[in-house]
Amino acid sequence: MEEWNETVEKWQELMEKGHYVQLREELNEENPANVAEFLEELPADKQLFLFRLLSKDMAAEAFSFLDNDTQEMLVTSITDTEVRNIVDNMYLDDTIDFLEEAPANLVSKVLRNTDRETRALINRFLHYPENSAGSLMTVEFVHLSKTMTAKRAMEIIRKNGLDKETIYTCYVIDDKKHLVGVLPLRTLLFADEDKRVEELMEEDVISIATLDDQEEAANLFRKYSFIALPVVDGENRLVGIITVDDIVDVIDEETTEDMEKMAALLPSDEVYLKTPVTKLARNRIVWLCVLMISGTLSSAIISGYDAILSQAVQLAAFIPVLTGTGGNAGSQTSATIIRGMSLGDIRPRDILRVMGKEVQVGMICGVLLAALNFIKQTIFSPSTDIMVDLTVSVSMGFVVVVAKAMGCVLPIGAKVCKLDPAIMAGPLITTVVDAVALVIFFNVAQWLVL
């Protein structure tokens, strides 16, 4: 980090002193991601100047790493010729990523500066559903015919591989473009030149359909440690591949979205410091209203048990402890279950096994917490009625068991209903468990105290 800060200071000094030739040389030798990071730290006018200072190749590569706002500003400001150079030198999937977020006027500007073939490909990709495998794939890959020899296959890779996103895995198709196998470059390198590709390829191919969700693609990458995944249409014809760098972005997006939902926020892919205060408030107020309204359920339950509270006033002091413990227990379980489902370890059909395990965990935790609470109250609050202490402790044991059960049932139930399980976490499950905890507490009190 310190080395990077020194590099940035050096580049800024070169800009201030007008040593643009040296700055251009250094930037063109730098990693494109670092160049993009440096660009984003500059004012808009300097961003445009510096971007034009880069070579065509570096400008295109760095452009793909910039945030959406900077990309839009640059495309708005540069000439049609410069736009054409960027599109010609960018990988198609990076171009699609930009256009999916860009306003219509910028999409039009880009499309009119592309050749007919590229324009047709872009339009086809833009028609795939958002967050589908088809919208994520690239067409820059190496495909081989199963009838060609290993020697011919290597010639094709040498000729076309430079412009492809990856050459480490080659895909084998038949004369109708059906995906019939995969051939690792390592196998090809050490193969006899006269051997045919169909003798060398692996026929057991794992692929994904264009309309499948990108999260499913991420699960396949995670499970099989792929560096690329073939994408096929409804007739098993190879139409593209998804590379691991795109999947890293997907995993990051999905994780961020789940975290926001678990914290009762509307998902947003905007950078925090660049997001207007009004939009931040709008993303939060919806769920805050929902939780506030649902929280009135707890108030209604307490009101319904006024008679019990009036006869044993000491019970009221323990409501926060009881609801807090139940909420924490439920959140722990829901977070574990949601993670398990996102990794594919837990499926809806496992609900009985999961529930059985969580109930056992709840019983162990509930008994220990109940005992600890009773001992704490006896030692540090001897003035409290012992039956009140017993009521709170017994209630706590039951609440923890129920909270653990609800913490697994609600996320799995959401999955069955085709909802994101992440919404059944954090504040939402805490609100539900609070209401259940109060019902248990007052019924136990009615049994033991009154």
- End of a domain among 193, 227, 243? 243
Q: Determine the pLDDT at residue 294.
A: 67
CB 134 within 8 A of CB 241: no
Q: pLDDT at position 261, please?
A: 65
pLDDT at 196: 94
Asked whether residue 119 is assigned to any structural domain, the reply reads yes
Range of the structural domain that residue 94 is part of:
2-127
In a domain, 249, yes or no: no
> What is the distance between the alpha carbons of residues 342 and 211, in angstroms, rounded to a whole number?
19
Q: Do 155 and 51 share a domain, yes or no?
A: no
For residues 107 and 165, state if they share a domain.
no
Together in a domain, 96 and 140 = no
Task: Quick: pLDDT tens for 370-419.
Answer: 999 999 988 887 777 888 889 889 999 999 999 999 989 888 988 888 87
Residue 138: closest CA among 122, 115, 153: 122
Q: Which two tokens stand for residue 103?
A: 């306003």
One domain for residues 116 and 61: yes
Neighbours of 368 (CB within 10 A): 12
- Angstrom distance (rounded) from CA 53 to CA 58: 10
Centre a 10 Å sphere on the Cβ of residue 89 and count the other Cβ atoms it contains: 17
Same-domain pairing of 140 and 118:
no
Residue spans of alpha helices (H) in 137-181: 150-160
Position of tokens 């007739």? Answer: 235
The CATH number of the domain holding residue 381 is: 1.10.357.20
Please report, for the domain that includes residue 183, its CATH number: 3.10.580.10
Predicted confidence at residue 237, as pLDDT, reads: 92
C-alpha closest to that of 93 among 218, 250, 234: 250
**Residue pLDDT, tens place only, 172-201:** 999 889 999 999 999 999 999 999 999 999
Do 231 and 297 belong together in one domain? no
How confident is the model at residue 166, as a pLDDT? 86
Q: Which residue has the tokens 């924490």?
A: 328
pLDDT for 263: 60
Question: Who's near 366: CB < 8 A, 6+ residues apart?
Answer: 396, 397, 398, 399, 400, 401
* Cβ-contact 37, 66 below 8 angstroms: no
* Ordered alpha helix ranges (H), 234-346: 244-262, 277-304, 306-311, 319-342
Residues of the chain with pLDDT under 70: 1, 259-274, 280, 287, 294, 311, 424-426, 449-450
* 255 part of a folded domain: no
CB 287 within 8 Å of CB 424: no
Residue 248 lies in a domain: no
Residue 250 forms part of a structural domain? no
Count of domains forming the chain = 3
**Residues 384, 282 share a domain:** yes
Strand partners, 286: none
Q: Which of 226, 243, 260 is the last residue of a domain?
A: 243
CA dist., res. 153 & res. 157, Å (int): 6
